[in-house]
Amino acid sequence: MANGARTHLTLYLTGSYLLLIIYASLYPLTDWHDSGNNPLDFLGAMWPRYYTGFDLATNVAAYLPFGFLCATAWRRRLAPMPAWLLATLLGGALSLVLELLQNYLPNRVPSNLDLACNTAGALLGGWLGALRGARMLDQGHLAGLRRQLMMNGYGVDIGVLLVAAWLMTQLSPESLLFGSGNLRQLLDLPPVQPFLAERFVDLETLIAAAGLLAAGLVISMLLRRHARRLTLGLLLCAVLIKTAAHALLMGPAAALGWITPGNSLGIGVGLLLWFSASFLNFTLQRAVAALALLLATVMVNVAPENPYLHNMLQFWNPGQFLNFNGLTRLVSSLWPFLALPWLMIYRPRKHDSDY
């Protein structure tokens, strides 16, 4: 794969992660107002009296990938030390700007401890990126494996990010299995129809089957070797992520709560449809994926509230996961509206797409 493609992937990753940090730091992005206080007061304030190791680790970990990606991108032009320092400065500056903006959000409290931890995360990530980033992303075994397995062509790097985002959508506890694009949830709109158990099972089946078909074809179209086996592996990974998210966010007893008659049937139907469609040529696969994506998105928006999920979430206190939950909800809501344009622009090289 050409150096340009590798550079683009690093830049796409950096830009995407930057947007995720901004959204998570300013969530829920409502009720902006000026409190009248000096926005810089938090810099000289005493450190919070109550904080946990989880808080510190989370703030360090959040900026570690950002520092790593920034330093890796800068290593294309700079020596290791300048790339490391620049990545650290960018991470610290980003954290400072976001902490300042939190002065104007009633649900957020700026903290000098958060600023220090975020900067430390950027520093650690930048050090790793300056030393090993290029080798890990562009020259190492990971890059070699990517060159062997992935298609070449226009839009491949964006497709990789879309697959990663799709896996992330499974972390949203409010989302139906393989169901994304819920604008009602994003805009806080009421359901368009009442809940009826028999009808909901059919909708759940349709959403799971169409969502799996669309995601499976997106993954398969990016691969030129072992496409079916690797796609099955990623689909299994998505199911495991859904299970782990339920267990972590709502308790071990709810780990398998997503396994319903509708979802079970939907997985079976979706796998059968995906496997059959994987033998079609590239143009037909693209068309089937787009239609499945549109169908799943429409059904998600017309489906009534799932009473089981609603009742479970009543007893769930997101607490420290509040910002992360807002982030996964946003990604889940926007994913099909990003994937559909990608399907239109994706152009693998001709000899790669003839499989």
Residue 79: phi and psi, rounded to 5, are: -70, 165
C-alpha torsion sign, points 234, 248, 108, 46: negative
Residue where a domain stops, chosen among 121, 146, 171: 146
pLDDT surpassing 80 at residue 325? no
pLDDT of 19 strictly over 60: yes
Give the model confidence (pLDDT) of 234-275 as tens digits. 999 999 999 988 787 777 777 887 888 999 999 999 999 999
Give the residue from 146, 163, 182 where a domain finishes: 146
Co-location of 96 and 182 in the same domain: no
pLDDT of 45 above 90: no
pLDDT of 67-114, one tens digit each? Answer: 999 998 888 888 999 999 999 999 999 999 999 999 998 878 888 899
Q: Looking at the predicted structure, is the pLDDT value of residue 322 above 60?
A: no
Give me the domain span that covers residue 11: 3-146
Least confident of 65-74, 133-142, 205-214: 133-142
pLDDT bracket for residue 6 (50, 70, 90): very low
Would you say residue 5 has pLDDT above 70? no
Mean pLDDT, the chain, rounded, equals: 85
Q: Are residues 131 and 52 in the same domain?
A: yes
Greater confidence, 351 or 230? Answer: 230
40-54 average pLDDT score: 77
Residue 91 phi/psi, 5° resolution?
-65, -45
Whether the pLDDT of residue 332 is over 70: the answer is yes
The string over 22-41, giving b where at least 16 C-beta atoms fall within 10 Å of a residue's C-beta and e elsewhere, is ebbbbbeeeeeeeeeeeeee
- 112, 205: one domain: no
Last residue of a domain, one of 131, 146, 161: 146
Same domain, 161 and 130: no
Task: Tell me which of 161-170, 308-317, 332-341 is least confident.
Answer: 308-317
Which pLDDT value is given to residue 38?
Answer: 84
Question: CA torsion sign, 51 to 110 to 17 to 329?
Answer: positive
- 248 in the same domain as 329: yes
Average pLDDT over residues 144-153: 80
Report CA-CA distances (Å) from 273 to 135, 199, 208, 213: 39, 22, 12, 6
The reported pLDDT for the residue numbered 2 is 41
Q: Are residues 269 and 349 in the same domain?
A: yes
Claim to verify: residue 207 and residue 286 sit in the same structural domain: yes
Nearest to 107 by CA among 27, 23, 21: 27
Ranking 106-115, 219-228, 291-300, 301-310 by mean pLDDT, the lowest is 301-310
Same domain, 79 and 160: no
- What is the reported pLDDT for 173? 72
Which residue is listed with tokens 């989370």? Answer: 58
Q: Using pLDDT thresholds of 50, 70 and 90, give the confidence band for residue 222.
A: very high
Q: Report the predicted TM-score, pTM, of the whole model to 2 decimal places.
A: 0.79
Residues 21 and 129 in one domain: yes
C-alpha span between 233 and 106 (Å, rounded): 43
Specify the number of domains making up the chain. Answer: 2
Q: To 10 degrees, what angle do helices 322-345 and 282-302 make?
A: 140
Q: Are residues 21 and 130 in the same domain?
A: yes
Percent residues over pLDDT 70 in the chain: 88
Task: Please tell me whether residues 203 and 334 are part of one structural domain.
Answer: yes
Both 162 and 22 in a single domain?
no
Backbone dihedral angles phi then psi of residue 45, each to the nearest 5 degrees: -75, 160
Give the pLDDT score at 12.
85
One-letter identity of residue 262:
G
Picking from 89, 130, 121, 164, the residue whose alpha carbon sits closest to that of residue 25 is 121
Res. 3 pLDDT band, cuts 50 70 90:
very low
